[in-house]
Structure 1
Amino acid sequence: MHTVLIILLALNVAFNCAVWPQFVRRVNADERSRDAAGRPTKFLRVHRVLFAAVGVVTLVSLAGVVAALVA
C-alpha cells in the first residue's frame, strides 16, 4: 500500500507539472481573458482560482511523496 501511495502521488505531481503550465499559457493568451480595456475578465479570474487550487494539490501531493519516502 505504501508503494502504491507513492506512485499515485508522484503521478499526480508529474501530470500537473506537465499539463497545467501549457493550459495557463493558453488561458492567458485567450481573447476572453481580458476585456477591451485590458482588465481581467471573469473567465481569467475563475481560471486563476483553478490554477491556484491545482498548485496547492500539487504541493500537497509532493509533500506526501517526500513524507512517504522518508518514512
Structure 2
Amino acid sequence: MELPTPLSLILILAGVWTLIVWPPFLRRILKDPRARDGNGAATRFLTVHLMLISTSMILGAATAVIGVRTLVA
C-alpha cells in the first residue's frame, strides 16, 4: 500500500501517542479504590477500563505499524 509521507507520519504519530498516553492512565486506574472490592477481587470498573485500555493500545500499535510499513514501502 502506498500513502503520501505526511499521512504515514500522522499514522505513526497517532500510534505512538496512544502508546504513551494509556499506560499512565492504567496505573491510575489500578490505584483507584473502585478497581477492587472489599475482598480484593476486580470490579466491573476495573474490567471495563482494562478492556478499553488494551483495545486502544492494540489499535495504537497497529496504527503505528501501518504507518511504518507505508512509510518504508
**TM-score normalised by L of structure 1:** 0.88
Aligned alpha-carbon RMSD (Å): 1.3
Asked if 1:54 corresponds to 2:45, the answer is no
Higher-RCO chain (CA-CA 8 Å, sequence separation at least 6):
2
Unaligned runs of 5+ in 1: none
Return the alpha-carbon distance in structure 1 between the equivalents of residues 39 and 22 of structure 2. Answer: 27
Q: Which moved more, 1:47-56 or 1:37-46?
A: 47-56
CA contact (8 A) 2:26 2:53 kept: yes
Unaligned runs of 5+ in 2: none
**Hey, which bits of structure 1, 4+ residues long, moved more than 6 A?**
none
Percent of residue pairs identical: 35
